[in-house]
Amino acid sequence: MKTQITITCPSCLSVSIKKNGIESYGKQSYFCKDCHRQFVHHLQLTDKGYQSHIDGKIRLMSACGCCIADIVILEQVSKGKVFSVRANSNHQIKPRQKHYNTLKIDEFRYEF
């Protein structure tokens, strides 16, 4: 069973299309024989970073203590995407204690 997708020109809606090489980012380029326009089909222009469940995963991984490099590798998104999700997040990291009894500075101890 084969699946066929009819590609039409976005400007003149013609179906007389031919392949016209590959773009620098790896997507198939097409050429309209009627209006002589070159374009990339809209189904090939997808970006994983804009999916809503990715934002939730980035927030969860950040709250669990994953570093930015780990999130970039595991979710296959850019560092900019991780930074923007973290900046727009309302999650606040709370310290475990308000006051500590012992303050450690290098090898010296000072007790309150």
**φ, ψ at 4 (rounded to 5°):** -115, 140
Residue 40: exposed, middle, or buried by beta-carbon count in 10 A (0-12, 13-18, 19+)?
Answer: middle
Binning pLDDT at 50, 70 and 90, where does residue 49 land?
very low
What digits encode the pLDDT tens for the residues 32-43? 999 999 998 876
> Could you tell me the pTM of the whole model?
0.43
pLDDT of residue 6: 85
Pairing of strands 28-32, 17-22: antiparallel
Q: Where are the domains of the chain?
A: 7-45, 48-88
pLDDT for residue 109 is more than 60: no
